[in-house]
Structure 1
Amino acid sequence: MFTGIVEAIGTLRSVRPYLKGIALDIESGLDLSDDRVGDSIAVDGVCLSITGLAGSVFTATASAETLSRSTLGKIKSGARLNLERALTLSSRIGGHLVMGHVDCVGTLQEKILVGESTKLRVGFDRAYTHYLIEKGSVAIDGVSLTINEVGTDSFCVNIIPITMTSTSLTLKGPGDRVNLEFDLIGKYIERLLHRDKDRNLEDLLKNKGYL
């Protein structure tokens, strides 16, 4: 699990076929001396397992399923990637709870300066609209952001300068594809309500001990 606070912008050194997926060699720029093979790391918001370590370079593999659900399916050497290692029990949650399981790929439609901040409008599959609320959270390429506007098939976020310059979003422009992960809590609530759809909300909350 992650929190959507990017630790570093890594560089993809090489990408090669691996079984039915790919293997990625990434220069992280991080001190990986405490990391081990098998540890989780988010790469542009995609949770991957470290399969090799050499100094500040790590190798990770992505399955065919991961490639089909994320921007990693079209990644090329030289790409700049947001990196975040998994939370520990003593970590601060500076963003929101992020699983690293991409829901869909969106498209950056607009990027404009608004004062000192940068406004992004992202288009996405409208089937996921119900997961978005104003002032709720969303992860874009692994970056925890607050939603300012919600449309039927797009939403907007405003990004402060420190977040823009410390993530790969600074390199993105209109037409670029981004990984989107919607709020975990909203997904569980939806599942709970769907399971109990024949009961009204008040009865459901009473049964769960909230009323």
Structure 2
Amino acid sequence: MFTGIIEGAGVVKAIRRGAEDFSIDVDTGDAVENPVIGESVALNGVCLTVVSAKDSILTFDVSAETISRTTLKNVNVDAKLNIERAMRMGDRLGGHMVSGHVDTVGTFTRATPIGDGYEIEVALPSEGMKYIINKGSIAIAGISLTVAAKLERSVTVAVIPHTWEVTSLGTLTVGSQVNIEYDMMAKYIENFIKEAYPSAGSISREFLNKHGY
């Protein structure tokens, strides 16, 4: 489990590709001190397991499933990746609850300077827009961000200078793909209602009002 508060940016040093999967070496700098084999680390919002560690270079195995569902399919040597270690019991929850299980891939469409920071817009698949609310949380490339505006097929978020500088957001160009994880609370609520009321079909405002929600 993660919080979406990025601890540093790593750099891809090597990729060893297999027939359907690959392993990746990432120089994590000082973002991961005293790494433990088997621990979970999120790279651009993807929860991966440390399988080897030598100084600041950590090795991760990336499965075919992860490759097919995330932006790691496009990663290259020297790419900058956002890094977050798994949270510990008792840690402050500075962002929001992030599982590291990517829901979909969005498309970066713009970054507009506002003051010293930026407003960025990311296009999303239509089926995921139901999980978005204004001022709600969303993880973009593993970063916990607050939705500034929910548009028809996209969201905008405000990015402060610190986040822009220490994460991979500053490396994005128009058309870049980014990992998206929706707020898990919204997904749990949807699943609960569907399981509790299997005959409901699609969930509408009228249905929720009828059943006291």
Equivalent residue number for residue 163 of structure 1? 163
Unaligned runs of 5+ in 1: 207-211
Q: Could you say if the C-alpha distance between residues 92 and 176 of structure 1 is closer, same or farther in structure 2, counting changes exceeding 3 Å?
A: same
In 1: Cα distance, 2:11 partner to 2:79 partner = 6
> What amino acid is the match of 2:55?
G
Deviation at 1:5, TM superposition (A): 0.5
Which residue identity does 1:26 align to in structure 2?
V
Provide the rounded CA distance (Å) in 2 between the counterparts of 1:112 and 1:173: 12
Match of 2:135 in 1: 135
Equivalent residue, structure 2, for 1:103: 103
Answer yes or no: is the 8 Å Cα contact 1:32–1:55 preserved in 2. Answer: no
* 1:25 to 2:25 alignment: yes
The aligned runs of 1:197-208 (5 Å cut-off) are 197=197, 198=199, 201=208
The equivalent residue for 2:39 is 39
Distance 1:203 1:108 in 2: 39
Residue 117, structure 1, aligned to residue 103, structure 2:
no
- Normalising by structure 1, what TM-score? 0.92
What is the rounded CA distance, in whole Å, between the counterparts of 1:191 and 1:31 in structure 2? 36
Identity of matched residues, %:
37
Equivalent pair of 1:40/1:86 in contact (CA under 8 Å): yes
Q: After the TM superposition, which segments of 4 or more aligned residues of structure 1 sit over 4 Å from their partners?
A: 198-206
State the one-letter code of the partner of 1:109: T
Alpha-carbon distance between aligned partners in 2 of 1:45 and 1:107, rounded to the nearest angstrom: 15
Contact preservation (8 Å) 2:8, 2:31: no
Aligned to 1:185: 185
**Structure 1 116/31 Cα, relative in aligned 2: closer, same or farther at 3 Å?**
closer
Counterpart Cα distance in 2 of 1:10 and 1:165: 13
Once the two structures are overlaid, the 10-residue window that deviates more, 134-143 or 116-125, is 116-125
Query: Normalization by structure 2: what TM-score?
Result: 0.91
User: What is the CA distance between 1:203 and its match in structure 2?
Assistant: 8.8
- Taking the aligned partners of 2:145 and 2:208, their CA distance within structure 1 comes to 29
Q: Which one is further off, 10-19 or 185-194?
A: 10-19
Number of aligned residue pairs: 206
Deviation of the 1:29 alpha carbon: 0.4
Question: Structure 1 residues 75 and 31 mapped into 2: Cα distance closer, same or farther (>3 Å)?
Answer: closer
**Partner amino acid for 1:182?**
Y
What is the aligned partner in structure 2 of residue 2 from structure 1?
2
In the aligned structure 2, how far is the partner of 1:32 from the partner of 1:167?
15
Q: Deviations over 1:110-140 (max 9, x none)?
A: 1110122201110111110000000000001
Check 1:33–1:162 CA distance in 2 against 1; reply closer, same or farther (3 A cut): closer
The Cα shift of 1:22 comes to: 0.9
